[in-house]
Structure 1
Amino acid sequence: MANSASKARTADFQLVGNSDSAQRMAANTGNQFDFLGVLVGQRRQQSTDLVHSSKQWSIVEIFSAMGDLFSRPEREYQYVAIDIAIANVRRFDIDDMQHFCQWITVNAWRDTGDNWRQFFSKYLTFHREQKPMVFALFFKNENIWLRRIAILLQINEDFSLDTDMLSAAILYDRNTDDKQIQLAIGRALRTYSKYNPVWVRNFLRQHGLSMVAAKEARRYLLSYDFE
């Protein structure tokens, strides 16, 4: 995914962290990935100029730079790549959304999955009419990390949330034996219960969910008086 264009934009970009933070960050991901030890605030401070300058790049240059950053072994560079995508979200179209899906599965885990979800959800704030097309990129995909985005795609929405889409995404994966999927189901329902607790309560009554998902989904319902 990297080429000469990306190297021209990112060759001199380096993050600086510390080993103690790197060990803690790696432990938080089950020691699956290498880290430099750059905390969120530090990463944003160190990458401010790069992210800001990316707004002047062509779309091709953005893709190339992201490919270069994703090719680096340290996890923080992948976070910066997604930061670049989010900073330029208003410049992309639906064809670009499909292109971005290739990176979701690269060293996939909850951290980058949540960052990618934020990107696609933000895109939909500018293109509400494209929600069915964006949802279709993830729904029933063979990769669980893409399906997880289908479940969480609308998590920032309130009364604009499409309950048919949410139901379809949850029911497709309700028996999937993966903790991250089950937590995502519970999280999506828990968040929506802040706006429509009756719908969430009825959904839980009508559909059998795992203990993990149901427990997470009911967290806010306990405080509602449904009488």
Structure 2
Amino acid sequence: MTRSCRRAFSAPRHRRRICLSADPPLTAVSSQSCLPAIFGRFRNVTAASFNQRVGAALAPLANAEKAVAMRAYMRDQFDYLGVPTPQRRAAVLPILRELKGVDAARLIELAEGLWTLPQREYQYVAVDLLARHWKALTLEQLPALLSLAQRKSWWDSVDGLAGVVGDVVRADRKHDPACQIHMDRALGHENLWVRRIAMLHQLGWRDETDVPRLFRHARELAPETDFFIRKAIGWALRDYAWHDPQAIRQFLDEMRDVLSPLSVREAGKNLSRLG
């Protein structure tokens, strides 16, 4: 797998976007112009028509050779069109922009519609859609977001959804300081991907991080043996280290015999250069 292929699969999140190669950006997709101009006002947008338009934007960019490599990288779990992220985003950006002001119910409906399509790029578009318009969402949509995380689940889609969930929870916390209890409950969910979201939901919060909760979540998940949970623990701790490296050093010293070596290694990656 080339370096560009490895870069192809970073998490699809507005702070950590999937980058599916370094191919040059494409020009506007001409096939979009022949579709009905019903998206100027989203009140008439249905999941089926939205899927059709997104599909028409991506189809000309499909690359069978890249699709094979992308599928192999994801352990043959998903089919791909073979559209790298820069091109995918350029093609669908006008469509996503036209949904400015979309209501939460319609936003979830469109994301769920994309989730039903077989090629993985459509789930990436769904995550980008949610990330772009997350301000339309509230905690009322949290069950729907966590439901998406449990379908066609893998780290690429789940980490993108974690970013959306984190933004929604962070915004709601300004009005309801106790709202993070939903993440406490998610930490005990039977689905490991929901637990991963709970561990990652404070990524990027920096000085707004609920540090006791971050450490408590890490401790509660520490006994788990799953790679993706252990990796998430380390990632969440490493992210907060950018804001307070000494707090992470102290936590790792206290928990070194409790956390897995993978979690400790991931958490401490940047500590040597953070002073």
Alignment TM-score, normalising by the size of structure 1:
0.89
Match of 2:241 in 1: 193
**Structure 1 residue aligned with 2:168, among 109, 120, 123?**
123
Match of 2:76 in 1: 31
Partners of 1:172 and 1:93 lie apart in 2 by 27
**Structure 1 residue aligned with 2:254, among 203, 206, 213?**
206
**Structure 2 residue aligned with 1:103, among 142, 148, 159?**
148
**Structure 2 residue aligned with 1:169, among 217, 221, 243?**
217
Q: Which moved more, 1:81-90 or 1:117-126?
A: 117-126
Q: Is the 8 A contact 1:98 1:137 kept in 2?
A: no
Q: How does 1:147-162 map to 2 (within 5 A)?
A: 147-162=195-210
Match of 1:7 in 2: 48
Q: Which has the higher helix share?
A: 1
Match of 1:85 in 2: 130
Q: What is the identity percentage for the equivalent residue pairs of Structure 1 and Structure 2?
A: 26
Matched, 1:70 2:70: no
What secondary structure does 1:11 align onto? Answer: helix
Matched, 1:220 2:267: no
Name the amino acid aligned to 1:165. R
5+ residue gaps, structure 1: none
Structure 1 residue ranges (4+ consecutive) displaced by more than 6 angstroms after TM superposition: none
Partners of 2:75 and 2:124 lie apart in 1 by 17
Name the amino acid aligned to 2:122. Y
Aligned length: 222
CA RMSD in angstroms, aligned pairs only: 2.0
5+ residue gaps, structure 2: 1-44
Closer, same or farther: CA 218–95 of 1 in aligned 2, 3 Å: same
Shift of 1:56: 4.8
Matched, 1:138 2:183: no
Shift of 1:73: 0.7
Name the amino acid aligned to 2:79. D
